[in-house]
Structure 1
Amino acid sequence: MNRRSGRIRPNPFVGHPEQDTAERLTSRPDHALVGVIRMPEATISPVRSIVRRIIGALLALTASVLIVYFGRDGYRDAAGGELSLLDAFYYATVSLSTTGYGDITPISPHARLVNVLIITPLRVLFLIVLVGTTLEVLTERSRQAFKIQRWRSRVRDHVVVIGYGTKGRSAVRALLGDGADPSRIVVVDTDHTSLEAASSLGLVTVNGSGTRSDVLRVAGVQRARAIVVAPARDDTAVLVTLTARELAPKAQLVAAVREAENVHLLRQSGADSVVVSSETAGRLLGMATTTPSVVEMFEDLLTPDVGLAIAERDVEPNEVGGSPRHLADIVLGVVRGGQLYRVDAPEADAIEAGDRLLYVKKVSPADG
């Protein structure tokens, strides 16, 4: 990119994503995508995890003590005498920990059978609790692989956000503010810190470059309802848009660019809507010097959490044929056949069946 003008220049060294010599993600089995795709997980505090393991160990120990104590007639103590409850605790402890001093041993066939069928599995369970950290990692990978397999087979009509910088985070906040399910938002990025932040919100994350078609396929772009292209560079945005549009010709594709002169490149690449971040921020900065209240109102309209927000809804049957200017809602425009008509346009004089209304709604803190 020309840093002085912001205009994108062709780069002869940038190849097509299909020419990537690395192993294609789409050819990997689901279990090999653990670390590439990360499914949201419910966080458990370290204290709770430790308490769970201690409780599991105590339950295994208690079960062993009861089994040995109630079957004490089948055991022999080298010191002589009948086994007490303390002896049962002692035997269960040294047995489960595999210490095995041999001073208390099962002598009857029944006691030995109980040791084989019950005490031995409890010993294994006890050891699993003791070395749970290593096994938990293995279990987590298996659980992630299963969740990835189920997610990839079921995901439809989701939203893919490519780039989780300032623009991508703001887009996700807006989606969540409108009531979107976090598990139906997929973030694609290469920065691990950004992916961790997205995962903490309950979002599905994919570690990879949005310019690669195999990464976008893993994110399910071909079945997505909408795609948000929000990388840091305009030239990257163009390449991502081209790749995403090729994979998802029917998805709603929205892209952000820094410079207005690159808007036509994004539209030619297949973007349905293009947002110019630098000029929009610049206009608000200029307006703030003379009419700061107008900027405050814009901030309110663009923040879906509380106050006023711009929304879209279907028309009611009793509204058909009427004027949008006479409704109780403050209507800004009418969407008809995918085309937006401002409320003062002649086409918006009368509401038709199937129209959608763009209006200003009041959002309470409970709704946000």
Structure 2
Amino acid sequence: MAGRGDSLWGRIRWATLLLVLAFAYGVTGYMVLEGWGFLDALYMTAITFTTVGYREVRPLDATGRVFTLTVMGVGVALVLITIALAAQWVMEGTWTFRTRRRRMQRRIDALSNHYLICAYGRVGRAAAREFEAEGVPFVVIDPKEDLEERMIQDGVLYLIDDPSQEDVLVRAGVQRARGLVCAVDSDATNVYITLLARSLNPELFIVARASEPGSDRRLLAAGADRVISPFVSSGRHMALVALRPRVADVLEVEPGTARSMRLEEVRIEEGSPQARRTVAEAFGPVPVLAVRHADGRITANPPGALILTPGDLVLTIGEEDLPAVRPSP
């Protein structure tokens, strides 16, 4: 839509320029050929262009009449062409389109300590939903025009442009931003965006997406603070949950390090080994951080004597495996 609108706007500008030149041609001709003053020549040119049908300002000789015919032929055609192009521009919504983007840019210019999301694919949309849930201001940058309607429906601030361009990042307020989520599906593009954003704002916290093996090292070298591989992390997450059928969810802290830590949510169900037992009996030496009861109450750092009932959700922490919630071999 932007490309079509820009092309149409370019044709309107050319038509307007030609119309101005035609006016200058008519005014100059009447002043030179007929010896009229500027105002009379301008008025005669205007009524000729618009074909309003008034009489001549002054009587014309044969040369003046021939000249008037040329002015009429050129001027009327240009006026009609300009009006048709302007009507098409309005009908296609280009005016609304440009006005909306100007308003969007003004809202972006008013932001500070916000976040940038580069690309609005599945990863970018997931990040946007989290920012919305936290009430954090953010701007989405994506060059795909077919995503604009979706971004409007989602109510997000956005720029339809290439996030790997310096001027685009500046328009998005990268120098005032707090962080950047680089979620483009090209690792090479993510590396370039990271380098560019880091040079524009050395204090920016950058989280970058990596798809290919080895890209994480390049992104970290380019200046990313954290690198996430959605495919690797989702596969690891699925495996961790599959190994623990009684666990509602697993969060691995600093995966891949020598001794990583894991947070696990254990749901107490009817018939489970932990049901109607105390925390100390159910989990032994495993640290229990909190218990969310079935009625919504939360008990932080619960005592070992607390009895667990069906419907409770227990948050535990430990290094690598938590043997109390692993299935028996």
Structure 2 length-normalised TM: 0.46
Q: Which has the higher contact order (CA 8 A, sep 6+)?
A: 1
Larger Rg computed on CA atoms: 2
TM-score of the pair, normalised by structure 1: 0.42
